[in-house]
Structure 1
Amino acid sequence: MTTQNFGARSSGSAVTAGLAFAAGALMVLALQQRRLEALRLRVAQVERTDGRNARLAEQQRFQTYLLDKALGDPDLAEVLSTIDELDPVRRRQYLFANALYTNALRAYRAGDVDRDELHGHLRVICQSAIFRDYWDATRHHRASLKKTSQEARVGRMTDALIRDLDQSDTEEWWVVGEPPPERD
């Protein structure tokens, strides 16, 4: 006669099932902890970016305030402008040209426009003879920029665009020039 031992087998299966459940629960907990840590890192990154963007926006507001004061008062415009021997009208035009360029540069830095859009904005700005005069008169300002800086790269893009526009034999200025590769 054969003896059946259901109790011993049942308790072994229960232990195995319990261990499998515990291992599964630990695995889920570990995955949740990894996801939570990834979320914490993402929140910290967004907070840093938001803080940087807020500082950039505040700096741009203050720069606009200073520029507005300089445009309204020739004596203050003389302080803000670093180009000597300009008549008051030309000085104000140069300051405004700088404001247009700076606005396009900041829109790019903030991520509001991409490189192609920035190139398009600069192409429009570069149609102005006064802007081109300003750009040439301030060439020495850009010479001190770190070659790999974003501002230096955008400056080189503007230089190339002006060169392309000068060499173009078409009246369709809006198709002249291609943005340089992402890293030049």
Structure 2
Amino acid sequence: MVTQRTGNRGLSAVTAALVLSVTGTTASLFAYRRTVETLLRANAELLRRLDLVEEQRREAVRRADRVEYQRDHRNLLLTAVADPDLLPVLDAYERDLPPQVQKQYLFANTLYVHALHGYRVGLLNRGELLGHVRVLFQNPTMRAYWEATRHHRASLPYDSDEAELGRMTDDLLAELDDADTDEWWVVGDGGAED
């Protein structure tokens, strides 16, 4: 006997094929979407890292510029100290000083700025910086320089490294003057936390 076929069976096969096709396409779209989202997250992370590298590069350039600026400063001071005609150009004190004292003060400034620069470029931490300052200011010429340049420090921006070190130095000198001990090397912490 022959079985009669109806057209519905063909339609079921087409429907099944369409369902499989739509399901496959939907799965492909979801996979595509997950891939795109993963790529976007990776791209965002890459951009974040590139920004970090760029900031590190800018900081390295700032440090190199600071080192070069410090070198220029030292060379200008050396030029003025070597030439008696140029020395008066750097006389920014509130009273007349003989050339010998001006040279001593310029050298004192160079020592002080050298310590500050070591801190700025990361060669010294705050405690080490304070230790340098503590030693430097055992000398009476350094103390006289510090007093003669007080008005210079008054013009510094309050939050600058140099202004902070100036306040730290002022505090240390006051503690040294008030100390009941001759052991100056143990006086004052000056807030020198690392």
CA distance in 2, matches of 1:126, 1:67: 21
Other-structure match for 1:149: 160
Q: CA deviation at 1:23?
A: 2.8
* Aligned mates of 1:163, 1:94 — CA distance in 2: 21
1:63-74 → structure 2 map (5 Å cutoff): 63-74=73-84
Pick aligned residue for 1:78 from 85, 88, 109 = 88
Query: More deviation in 89-98 or 19-28?
Result: 19-28
User: Retained in 2: the 8 A contact 1:81–1:95?
Assistant: no
Greater Cα radius of gyration, structure 1 or 2: 2
Q: Give unpaired runs (5+ residues) of structure 1.
A: none
The alpha-carbon deviation at position 60 of structure 1 amounts to 0.9
Q: Deviations over 1:25-70 (max 9, x none)?
A: 1222011111121122113212321222222122111111111112
Say which SS state the counterpart of residue 28 (structure 1) adopts.
helix
- Alignment check: 8 A CA contact 1:108 1:115 kept: yes
**2:57 is equivalent to residue 47 of structure 1:** yes
2:116 to 105, 111, 115: 105
* Aligned mates of 2:152, 2:77 — CA distance in 1: 18
Per-residue CA distance 1:111-140 (angstroms, 9 max, x = gap): 332222221221111111110110011111
Q: Does 1:26 align with 2:30?
A: no
Report the CA distance between 1:166 and its aligned residue. 1.2
How far apart, in 2, do the equivalents of 1:15 and 1:67 lie?
Answer: 77
Whole-angstrom CA distance in 1 between matches of 2:72 and 2:57 = 22
Which residues of 2 match residues 1-184 of structure 1 at below 5 A?
A: 14-15=24-25, 17-83=27-93, 84-180=95-191
Cα RMSD of the aligned pairs, angstroms, is: 2.5
SS state at 1:75 partner: coil
Alpha-carbon separation, structure 2, partners of 1:147 and 1:65: 28
Alpha-carbon displacement from aligned partner over 1:124-182 (angstroms, at most 9, x marks no partner) = 11111110110011111112223333322211111011111111122322221113277
Count of aligned residue pairs for this structure pair: 180
* CA distance, structure 2, for counterparts of residue 22 and residue 179 of structure 1: 61
Asked if the contact 2:176/2:188 (under 8 Å) is kept, the reply is yes
8 Å contact from structure 2 (residues 126, 192) kept in 1: no
Residues 130, 192 of structure 2: 8 Å contact kept: no
Distance of 1:153 and 1:72 partners within structure 2: 32
- Distance in 2 (CA, whole Å) between partners of 1:47 and 1:78 is 40
| Matched AA of 2:84 | P
